[in-house]
Amino acid sequence: MSTRSEPYEGKMKKTIETLDAEFNSIRAGRANPHVLDRITVDYYGTETPLAQVGNITVPEARLIQIQPWDTSLLKKIEKALQVSELGINPTNDGKVIRLVFPELTEERRKTLSKDVKKKGEEFKVAIRNIRRDGIDEAKKTEKKGDLTEDELKRFEDELQKLTDKYITEIDKHVETKNKDIMAI
C-alpha cells in the first residue's frame, strides 16, 4: 500500500526543491551567487545561464564578480543584469563585471520577509494540490473495484501524513529564510 504514495511523495520533494531554488534567488544582505541562477545571456544565438559563460566568485561579503571566458560577452552580461529583477547596477572594467550589494534597509527586509511568507503559502497550496490529486486518483481506483474502502482510507491517512510532513518542512524553510533576511 505504501508504494501507492511514493509518486506523490516524489512530487512533494520536487516542490520543496523548487521552493529552495526560489528562496536562493531572493537576495538577502549578503552576496549569494544563486541570485544569478535565472539570468541568461545570448551566447551565439542561444540563451545560456550566466554560470555557463564565465566564472562567478564572491570575493567579499557584499560583492559578486563575474569573469566571462569570452570578453566579448561583457556588454551582453551587463545588459542582462541591468534588465533583470536584481535591482543592482553592474560595473564593467573591461575584464570583469562587479555587482555590489547594498545593505538592505529595514523596510526592504520587511518586504522581502512578506514575499518569502507569500511564496511559502503558494508552495503549501501546491503540496495540498498533490494530496488532492492523489486522493482523487485513489477514489477512481476504488470505484473501478481495484481498491477496497479500507485501503482507500489507509492511503488517504498516509497521504495526509506526508502532506503534514512537507507543510512543516515548508514552514521551516520560510523561517530559516526570514532569519537570513532579517539578520543585519
| One fold for 2-24+105-182 and 33-100 | no
In the structure, what pLDDT confidence band is assigned to residue 29 with cuts at 50, 70 and 90? low
The Cα–Cα gap between 44 and 125 comes to: 40
Higher pLDDT, 61 or 18: 18
Question: What are the φ/ψ torsions at residue 152 (nearest 5 degrees)?
Answer: -60, -45
| Nearest CA among 83, 113, 78 for reference residue 99 | 78
- When mean pLDDT is compared across 26-35, 47-56, 69-78, the lowest value belongs to 26-35
| Nearest CA among 47, 44, 43, 24 for reference residue 35 | 24
**What nine digits make up the cell of 167?**
507543510
- Transcribe 137-148 into DSSP letters: HHHHHHHHTSS-
46-49 vs 40-43, strand pairing mode: antiparallel
Selecting from 3.40.50.300, 3.30.9.10, 3.40.50.1970, 3.30.1360.40, what CATH number does the domain 33-100 have?
Answer: 3.30.1360.40
> Quick one: pLDDT at residue 1?
41
Fold of 2-24+105-182: Topoisomerase I; Chain A, domain 4 (1.10.132)
> What is residue 28's DSSP assignment?
-
Using the predicted structure, report yes or no on whether residue 184 has a pLDDT greater than 70: no
Average predicted confidence (pLDDT) for the chain: 88
Question: For the chain, which residues make up each domain, given as ranges?
Answer: 2-24+105-182, 33-100
Q: How far is CA 126 from the centre of its chain?
A: 14
Name beta bridge partners: 64.
Answer: 99
**Among 32-36, 116-120, 147-151, the range of highest mean pLDDT:** 116-120
> Quick one: pLDDT at residue 28?
66
